[in-house]
């Protein structure tokens, strides 16, 4: 890991005691990353994770006296060792070990011991050093649950910046050597799969473009999405502790990767301006049913954000969610309240795709076909991604669980054949269109 480099960069400023410390080091010789709240927020509390497994473990506040901090490492809540109220809520979780730490604010080093509960085993050494820090957010509290939720929110694309300033604990947790697959070709790009050995699903990276352009922007997008998915898997792995289970028996359901280890990620297109991929599988950590999905993603490398498809298609229009296909919103209204609208294909583009649906997509059931691929359904659920050529793959996804079987690729069309639907700005992404 790059703890020494990060520490050198971070120490340009001194952490105030209103901040959350991220520390790296070892517990009993095993590499860990630790996050602890500052003493002035109350008794020191936090979480830690072993870097060879991921998934954080609660450190519950016991006491602090100046530079001496004591926390209890929570144990997994089993069937018979948790104190429950009459409703089954956890009142007291088991303790695996007690950490006694001494923090030296001059050297940013914490040392101490880990004493296992209920045994005569020798105390284990703890050696940690501060590698970074961040503020405790306004919506956060000094509890293991609140700190863990910081990681949970970061597993979503809109959950905050995944970087060393906003999320040092998560960045340190993700900073482990990856397994790399063989190089393969994808259009004008050379790519390879990259796998975090702890979560065991591959996520592609671009090695090079044939034109010699930089791959940094596209790989930043791919690495960030890979990291967010890893955090989602680690969240499920950690969801076996009472402190993370909303104080209920539901916490016992975790302790696994939520089937992220079976997730399939496939890069479908990569250029210096755009990158598209699919994520498919069946994810489940808790809840009424699994998330069965075939989702497509396309990002603009200039912004690092999901592509604004209206820059490709003039026939990509705004509506309120669930509005009739012909009920297109006024752009002035959209500008005033953009979050109240979703963008999707126009009636003309929907008709173009529906007229070309292959028979193997349909169900030979008129009602089911309409629920999946009727005009209203595609108004709500039709999307797209790119493929070599360049070409456009029109997709259907995002259906309720009961009809998730509708999710599929619909048709693939050379981009040049879609000229009647293209926006003038499409040429900025595909210079070949200018010819």
- CA distance linking residue 296 with residue 277, whole number of Å: 6
pTM for the complete prediction?
Answer: 0.92
Which ranges of the chain have pLDDT less than 70?
1-18, 41-42, 79, 88, 119, 246-253
Peptide bond into 272 cis (omega under 30): no
User: Residue 17: its pLDDT value, please?
Assistant: 53
- CA distance linking residue 72 with residue 81, whole number of Å: 16
Q: DSSP assignment, residue 345?
A: E
Beta carbons within 8 Å of 13's beta carbon, 6+ residues apart: none
User: Residue 204: its pLDDT value, please?
Assistant: 99
User: Residue 8: its pLDDT value, please?
Assistant: 41
User: Residue 9: its pLDDT value, please?
Assistant: 43
User: Residue 66: its pLDDT value, please?
Assistant: 86
pLDDT digits (tens, 9 = 90+) for 367-389: 999 999 999 999 999 999 999 99
Q: Residue 27 pairs with which residues in a beta bridge?
A: 30, 126
User: Residue 192: its pLDDT value, please?
Assistant: 98
HSE-CB for 336 with a 13 A CA cutoff: 5
* DSSP structure string for 77-128: --SSSSEE-TTS-EEE--EEEEEEEEEETTTTEEEEEEEETTS-PPPEEEEE
Which parts of 239-303 fold into alpha helices (H)? none
- CA distance linking residue 20 with residue 247, whole number of Å: 23
């Amino acid at each position: 890991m790059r703890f020494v480099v990060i520490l050198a960069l971070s120490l340009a400023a001194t952490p105030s005691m209103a901040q959350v410390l991220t520390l790296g080091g070892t517990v009993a010789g095993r590499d860990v990353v630790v996050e602890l709240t500052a003493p002035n927020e109350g008794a020191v509390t936090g979480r830690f994770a072993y870097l060879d497994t991921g998934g954080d473990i609660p450190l519950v506040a016991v006491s602090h006296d100046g530079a001496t901090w004591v926390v209890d490492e929570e144990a997994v809540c089993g069937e018979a060792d948790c104190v429950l109220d009459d409703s089954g809520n956890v009142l007291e979780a088991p303790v695996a070990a007690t950490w006694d730490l001494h923090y030296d604010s001059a050297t940013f080093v914490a040392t101490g011991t880990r004493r296992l509960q209920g045994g005569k085993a020798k105390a284990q050494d703890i050696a940690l050093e501060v590698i970074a820090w961040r503020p405790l957010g306004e919506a956060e509290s000094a509890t293991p649950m609140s700190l863990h939720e910081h990681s949970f929110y970061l597993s979503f694309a809109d959950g905050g910046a995944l970087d060393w300033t906003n999320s040092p604990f998560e960045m340190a947790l993700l900073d482990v050597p990856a397994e790399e697959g063989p190089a393969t070709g994808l259009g004008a790009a050379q790519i390879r799969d990259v796998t975090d050995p702890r979560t065991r699903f591959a996520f592609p990276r671009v090695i090079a473009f044939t034109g010699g352009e930089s791959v940094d922007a596209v790989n930043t997008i791919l690495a960030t999405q890979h990291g967010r998915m890893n955090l989602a898997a680690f969240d499920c792995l950690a969801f076996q502790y009472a402190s993370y289970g909303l104080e209920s028996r539901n916490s016992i359901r975790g302790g696994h990767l939520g089937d992220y280890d079976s997730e399939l990620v496939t890069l479908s297109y990569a250029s210096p301006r755009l990158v598209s991929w699919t994520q498919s599988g069946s994810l489940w950590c808790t809840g009424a049913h699994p998330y069965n999905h075939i989702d497509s993603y396309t990002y603009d490398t200039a912004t690092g954000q999901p592509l604004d498809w209206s820059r490709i298609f003039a026939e990509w229009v705004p509506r309120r969610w669930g509005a009739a296909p012909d009920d297109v919103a006024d752009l002035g209204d959209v500008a005033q309240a953009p979050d109240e609208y979703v963008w999707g294909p126009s009636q003309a583009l929907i008709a173009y795709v529906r007229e070309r649906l292959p028979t193997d997509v349909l169900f030979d059931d008129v009602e089911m076909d309409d629920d999946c691929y009727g005009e209203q359904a595609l108004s709500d659920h039709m999307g797209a991604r790119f493929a070599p050529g360049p070409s456009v793959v029109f997709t259907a996804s995002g259906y309720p669980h009961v009809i998730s079987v509708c999710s599929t690729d619909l048709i693939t069309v050379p981009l040049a054949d879609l000229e009647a639907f293209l926006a003038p700005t499409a040429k900025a992404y595909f210079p070949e269109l200018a010819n």
